[in-house]
Amino acid sequence: MRTSRRAAFLAACGLDDGAARRLCEDLALEARLLGMAERAVPDGPSWEEGLALAARLGGAWVEEAQRLVAPPAKPRRRARRRTP
């Protein structure tokens, strides 16, 4: 936009150069915030976080952790049948 047209536009909007700059900064900040709203505004746990929390509270998390660190179970040997 030409400088003369810009000045006329800002005057019609009731803005001076400083107010126009602040408005542009506010709009840029708003666009950035809206782009990452899921990180800026907590809306509760995600599905995975809720599942993990339920597993922790219900004890499944500890059970699974213990199963993972336990040594592998040895296969049982079948007892031989005695033939009479």
The pTM for the full model equals 0.44
Per-residue confidence (pLDDT) for residue 37, from 0 to 100? 81
Is residue 77 situated within a structural domain? no
Is residue 55 situated within a structural domain? yes
Per-residue confidence (pLDDT) for residue 23, from 0 to 100? 93
Structure tokens at 50: 């809720």
pLDDT in tens, 53-83: 999 899 998 888 888 888 877 777 776 777 6
Is residue 79 situated within a structural domain? no
Is residue 64 situated within a structural domain? yes
Domain that holds residue 61: 44-68
**Total count of domains within the chain:** 2
By the 8 A CB rule, do 52 and 61 touch?
A: yes
Per-residue confidence (pLDDT) for residue 84, from 0 to 100? 62
pLDDT in tens, 3-17: 788 888 888 989 888
